Structure 1
Amino acid sequence: MVIPGLTIPAKGVSAWFVETDAAGARKWLASLPLADSAAAAREIYQALYTLNRQDLEAHKRFELMELYRGPVAAVSDSLTGQLTGAAFPLTPDKLRLAEFVRQLPMEMAHGYKCCLQDLPRVLLGRGRRRVRLGAMERTLRYLGEALLRSYQVYLPAPAGVWKEIHALYRHAERGSGHLVSVGRGDGDARGGTTIQERYLQILLLGLSNPYQLPQGEAAQISRFLEHRAAGARLLQDLKISNPVGYFLVNLAADSPPVPFPRDGRIQPQPHLRALNVVELLQVLHSLIHRLQQGESARALDLGFECLESAAPDLLRRMIRSWGVTVRRAHTRLKRSGYLMLCAGVNAVHFFSGAQKPFSAAGHGEPDRPMAVPETPGPDRHRDDGGATTGSSPASVTDDDPRRQELYRIDRWQVRDVGPSGMLLAQSGASGTHVRVGDLLGFQRMTEPGRWSAGVARWLKSLTGGGLEMGVELLASSVRPVAVKPLAPRAAGDTRFVQALLLPAVEAAQRPPTLVVTRGLYQPGTDYQLLEDGLPPRRVRAQRLLERTHAFEQFVFADI
C-alpha cells in the first residue's frame, strides 16, 4: 500500500541482530532492565532501528510492533521525567536526551509505516483491513507523540511530520476508514478509538500554542484531549459565517491548522478542511463554571492530575488557544543588538535597586537578603527563575536565615522589536535560565541603570543548542519596593518581601500595578508598601491582572 507523503526507511543489511519471532521478542523485551531506563532505551532503539530496515511480512511486523509499545512507553516516560523542570537553554547533555526521547516514537511510527507499505503483498479480507486501520492509527499516535515530546522541551517539530499526519488522515478519509473503531491495544480498557479522533487530538494539541505553555502543560492537554477531542468536528464545507472557533486545515501542508480568515471567505479546495471547536469551547466553559461552583478537578474527569488552583488556569489557556485568535497589532522591526537580562522577581528587584541588599527599609527582619556578587561560583537553579552564583560572605552560613542570594545577568541578542515586545536569542549556555511565564528584567546597552520588566511568553529550543524567546513588555521602568500583608495569610507569613512597582500605562489605560512572587496576592488584602525615601503606604489589592507559575501582577489602591 503506497500512501503519498510518507517517509519510510530504506531496507538494508545490518550487523545488529533483532528478534523477528514474536515469542522470542516477547521474552527479550521482558528481560530488559526497565529500572535502568537509559540502558533499556538504547537497547530498544537499536532493535527498532534494525527491525525497521529489514524485510518482514506485514502481519508479523504489526505483531512485533504491538509488543514494543509497553516497553517504549515505560522508558520514554522515565527519560522524559529527567527533563521535567529543566532550565532553558538546555545543556548539551539535556538537549541530546530530549532529541533521543523524541526519536523513540519516530522509530515506532516508522515500524507501523513499514506495515502499511508491505500490506499489498499479503493478507486478504478482514485481516488485511484490521492491520491497515490499526497501523494507520498507531502511526498517527506515534507521530503525535513525537510532536508532544518536541513541545515538552520547546523543540521545533520534526520536518515532514505534519505532512505525514495529514496524508494518513486524508487516505483514511477517502475509504471511510477514519470513522471505524480501532482497538487501542496494550491492555487499554478505554475501548476503541478512530483515526479521526486521533487526528483531532493531534490538531488540537498543535493549536494549543505549545511553545507558550509552561513546561508540563502540553502533556496535560494531550491527556485531556484523549477523551475530549471528539467534541471538535472536521468539515469539508468551508462556508463559515462566523469564524470564531474555526480553523483551516491544509492537508497538503507540513504545518498545523491556522485560524480561519476573519471574513470567512475561502475558495474550496480538495485538500482544505474546516475544524470546528465551538462545542469543545462550550465544554471548557462548563468545566470552569463547575470548578467555580465548588466541584473538585478530580470529579470532573479532566484526564490529568493537577492542583485544584491550577486547573482553571489551564482550562482558560485552552479557551484562549482555541477561541478568538488575537493577531499582532504592530509590525516587528528587525534589530541587531544586545541587552542584559535577569529572571525572577527578586533578581529584577536586586538589579533595578542598584544592587543594594534587601532590608525592607529597616522594617522587620530581612527576608532573603541579597548582595552584589563578588566571586563566581557554581550555578544552582532558583525557584523564582533566576540563576544564583555560589557562595555567601564567610560570616553568614548556609543555614543562617540571613544567607545572601547572589544573582546573575546575561547578555542576550535582540532579533526584532515592537511596541509591546521583542524576540531574543541565546546561542549558547546561559547562567540565566528561563521558563515560560518567568518575570524578566532587561537593561538595554544604550540605557545603563534603567531596567524594564517583561514576561517570557514563549520559548523555542534551537537545533544544535541555544534558545529563542518571545518577550512581552510589561513596563519600560520598574521601582523596587517591599510589601507586607497586614492580614495574616494561610501560611502565617507577614514579613516584608521584595516586590516591583510598575508605573501606569496610559495607552493601555492600565493603572500602576504591583508584581510579587506567586502566592502573595489575596483579593481584598491590605499590604504595607515601602519605597526607598518615601513614607510607608497602606494599599489594598483590587484586581488580579495576571498569574503565572512565577509571579502575580495586580492593581491596587491607596487607602
Structure 2
Amino acid sequence: MKPDLNVHSYESSSSAGEPSFQSLKTWLISAANPSLKSLNHHIRQLHYLPCTDAERLELLDWFRPMITKAGVRLREQLQDSQLPLPEGLVNGLDELAVVHSIVADVYKMVLMKQSADMMHANDSSDEERIEQLRSLVLACYGATSHLAEQLRAVYEAYKPSPEGVWREVHHIYQFAHSIINSSNTISVDGRTGMDEFFMIEHVYKRSLLLGLCNPFHFSFRQFRDLNRTLNSRASLCTIHFESMSAEKLNLFSIDFDSDYPAAPVLTHNGNLLQGEHYAVLDTRELVDSLNREIDMIAAEAFVETNEHRRAEDLAKIEMLRRLVMNWGQHPVRRDKRTDEDVAQCHIAAGFDRIVSHVSRNGLLLGKMASTSDAATDLSCEIIDSSPTGYQLAFKADSEVQFRIGEMLALRSKEDPDSWSLCIVRWARYLSSDLVGVGVFILGTACQRIRVRIESRGLGQSADCLKLTKSGSLPRNRKLMIAPSSYYQPDARLEMTDGHRLMIRAGNMLISGIDFVVFDYEITD
C-alpha cells in the first residue's frame, strides 16, 4: 500500500536568499519563546530547505517543544474567555492550527519519500528493513500527532474541521497498520516496530473520540479536562478489523476513505460494513469506566462543603455525562426544527444577573427589559427553533458574552413580553463574524424566591428561581433553579414564597456553569 497524501506547496518569501540547515539550527538555538507567527515563518523553510530527511527531522525535534510552549501560553489566555472570542484569541488559535498543519506536511513529505524508498529496497537485510520500518512508522506518528493537534486547535476555536484533514488522519493510520501487518515476521533483537505503531494508534483513538464527542458542547475549561480524559482513557477503546454484528451498543463504523471521524452504528443496521476500507471502534469498556467515575464523583460532590470544589465536581459530572451520551448512547434528534424568518432578539447572560432582574411575581424588571442596556442589545438573531430550543446567531463583536453551560434570558423583538430562560448547549462559528449558538429552553415563566439550606443557619440563604412554566423540562414536577452550591439530594430547604415552606430537594435534572435545575416536593 502506498500513501496518497496531500502536501501543500510552500515557497520561499525571503529576499535574503535560501536558508541553510546551519542558519535555521542557529536560529532555533538562539530563539527564546518565539511567537506563533515567527514559528510559522521558520517552519515553512523546512519544505524547501536543501538538506537530508534526517536533518529535516532533527530540526523538527527542536521545533516541537517551542510549538508546545506557544500552545500552552495561548490556552492559558482561554481558560476564562467568553464567547464570542476576542479577535486576538481567534487569530491565535487559527495560527496554532496552521503551524501544526505545516509540521504535519513536513512529516507527510518525509513519509511518502521513505515509503517509496522502502518499496524499492528489495535486497535489504532484516536489520535494515527494521530501521526503515521504524523510521516510516515514526514519520506516520509525527504526521498523525500534528494533524490531531491541528484538529484540537480548530475545535477549541469552535470551528468545523478543515476539508480533507480527517481523510488524511484515517489514511495514515490505515497505512501504518498495513505496513506493520506486512512486516510482522521481521524481528531483530525483539524489535518489530510495534511500539511505534501503538503510539500512532493511541493518537488516532484520541482523535476519533474528540471528533465523536461533539466538541462544540464544551467550555474552554472543560476542553482542558476533556484532553486529560482523552489522554488517560483512549486506550480503553478497541479498533476491530474483523466482521462484527451491530447488535451491541457503543460501536462506531470507521470509513478510511471518509472525511469525518466515524459514524455511530445503530442496532437495527444489521451487520457492519466490511472490507479493507472499514474498521469498527468499540467504546464499551471506556463508557463503563466513565459511568463508574460519574458515580464516584457524585458521591463525593454532594457531601462536599467547599462550594468551589462542589461546582467543579458538578461541571465534571456534566462533562462526563455528555461523553457517555456521545460515545455510548448515540443521541438522535427527535424534535423537528423549523426555519424561522430571521428575528432580532434581546438577550441577557448569567444566572446572578438574570435572577436579580426577576420580580417576586415573575416579571423581568429594570434594564434587562430595556433596549438601551448594552447587555441586552440586538446583536443576536433567532435562526431556527424546535419545541425544546433555538439556534441563535451572534455577531462576533456582540457586547453580550457567554460561556457554554451559562444561562441566557431572551425575547424576540416582535414579542417583547415573552421571555425564555435557556441554557447554552453548544456554539460554533458560522463565519468569521458570526457565531451560531444552540440553547435549550428551561422555562418561559418563573418567580424569584428566597431559599435557605436548613443546616446552614439563618444567614445562609440565596435568591433562586421557581419555574412556574417549564419549557422542555417535565411539566408535572415542581422545579427550581438554584446556585450550584444549594443542591444536595434529599436536602431540606426553607423556601420563602410569600410565606415559608419546607421542601425536600429531589433529582438534579440539569447542571450549568453556576446553577442547577432540580425538582422538589413540599414537606409541610
TM-score, normalised to structure 1, is: 0.79
Gaps of 5+ in 2: 122-127, 185-191, 302-310
Cα distance in structure 1, aligned partners of 2:240 and 2:74: 38
Q: Which residue of 2 aligns with 1:541?
A: 505
CA-to-partner distance for each residue in 1:422-460, whole Å, 9 max, x for gaps? Answer: 211113311211211111111123432221111111111
Q: Which residue of 1 aligns with 2:217?
A: 212
Per-residue deviation at 1:356? 3.8
Q: What is the SS of the residue equivalent to 2:78?
A: coil
Per-residue deviation at 1:93? 2.5
Alignment of 1:507-518 (within 5 A): 508=474, 510-518=476-484
Q: Say if 1:481 and 1:501, in contact at 8 Å, map to a contact too.
A: no
Per-residue deviation at 1:13? 3.9
Q: What is the SS of the residue equivalent to 2:507?
A: strand
Q: Which residue of 2 aligns with 1:232?
A: 237
Alignment of 1:358-507 (within 5 A): 407-488=375-456, 494-503=460-469
Q: Are the structure 2 counterparts of residues 493 and 372 from structure 1 closer, same or farther at C-alpha, using a change threshold of 3 Å?
A: farther
Q: Are the structure 2 counterparts of residues 356 and 416 from structure 1 closer, same or farther at C-alpha, using a change threshold of 3 Å?
A: closer
Per-residue deviation at 1:328? 1.0
Cα distance in structure 1, aligned partners of 2:149 and 2:459: 43
Q: Are the structure 2 counterparts of residues 133 and 502 from structure 1 closer, same or farther at C-alpha, using a change threshold of 3 Å?
A: farther
Q: Which residue of 1 aligns with 2:8?
A: 9
Q: Say if 1:343 and 1:438, in contact at 8 Å, map to a contact too.
A: yes
Cα distance in structure 2, aligned partners of 1:519 and 1:29: 50
Per-residue deviation at 1:501? 2.7
Alignment of 1:16-35 (within 5 A): 20-21=20-21, 25-34=24-33
Per-residue deviation at 1:227? 3.8
Q: What is the SS of the residue equivalent to 2:321?
A: helix
Cα distance in structure 1, aligned partners of 2:105 and 2:459: 55
CA-to-partner distance for each residue in 1:82-140, whole Å, 9 max, x for gaps? Answer: 22222111232322122112222112212211211332576863443222111111111
Cα distance in structure 1, aligned partners of 2:350 and 2:216: 20
Q: Does 1:197 pair with 2:219?
A: no
Cα distance in structure 2, aligned partners of 1:519 and 1:20: 60
Q: What is the SS of the residue equivalent to 1:222?
A: helix
Per-residue deviation at 1:478? 2.6
Q: Which residue of 1 aligns with 2:281?
A: 275
TM-score, normalised to structure 2, is: 0.84
2:254 pairs with 249, 270, 275, which one?
249
Cα distance in structure 1, aligned partners of 2:472 and 2:115: 68
Q: Which residue of 2 aligns with 1:349?
A: 355
Per-residue deviation at 1:165? 0.5
Q: What is the SS of the residue equivalent to 1:457?
A: strand
Per-residue deviation at 1:78? 0.6
Q: Does 1:175 pair with 2:179?
A: yes
Question: Which is helix-richer, 1 or 2?
Answer: 2
CA-to-partner distance for each residue in 1:192-215, whole Å, 9 max, x for gaps? Answer: 843222211111111122111222
Per-residue deviation at 1:231? 1.6
CA-to-partner distance for each residue in 1:216-270, whole Å, 9 max, x for gaps? Answer: 3234323333243222112233432424110111111111112113313244343
Alignment of 1:41-52 (within 5 A): 41-52=36-47
Q: Which residue of 2 aligns with 1:553?
A: 517
Cα distance in structure 2, aligned partners of 1:234 and 1:446: 52
Amino acid corresponding to residue 140 of structure 2 in structure 1:
M
Q: Are the structure 2 counterparts of residues 264 and 291 from structure 1 closer, same or farther at C-alpha, using a change threshold of 3 Å?
A: same
Q: What is the SS of the residue equivalent to 2:64?
A: helix
Q: What is the SS of the residue equivalent to 1:237?
A: coil
1:156 pairs with 156, 160, 173, which one?
160
Task: Count residues in correspondence.
Answer: 491
Q: Does 1:316 pair with 2:284?
A: no
Q: Say if 2:347 and 2:377, in contact at 8 Å, map to a contact too.
A: yes
Per-residue deviation at 1:291? 4.7
RMSD: 3.2
Amino acid corresponding to residue 351 of structure 2 in structure 1:
V
Q: What is the SS of the residue equivalent to 1:216?
A: helix
Cα distance in structure 1, aligned partners of 2:442 and 2:26: 58
Q: What is the SS of the residue equivalent to 1:170?
A: helix
CA-to-partner distance for each residue in 1:294-315, whole Å, 9 max, x for gaps? Answer: 69xxxxxxxxxx9556544443
Instruction: Identify the range of structure 1 (113-122 vs 504-513) with the bigger mean alpha-carbon deviation.
Output: 504-513
Q: Which residue of 1 aligns with 2:489?
A: 523
Q: Say if 1:250 and 1:257, in contact at 8 Å, map to a contact too.
A: yes
Q: Which residue of 1 aligns with 2:188?
A: none
Amino acid corresponding to residue 442 of structure 2 in structure 1:
L
Cα distance in structure 2, aligned partners of 1:98 and 1:209: 19
Per-residue deviation at 1:143? 0.8
Q: Which residue of 2 aligns with 1:327?
A: 332
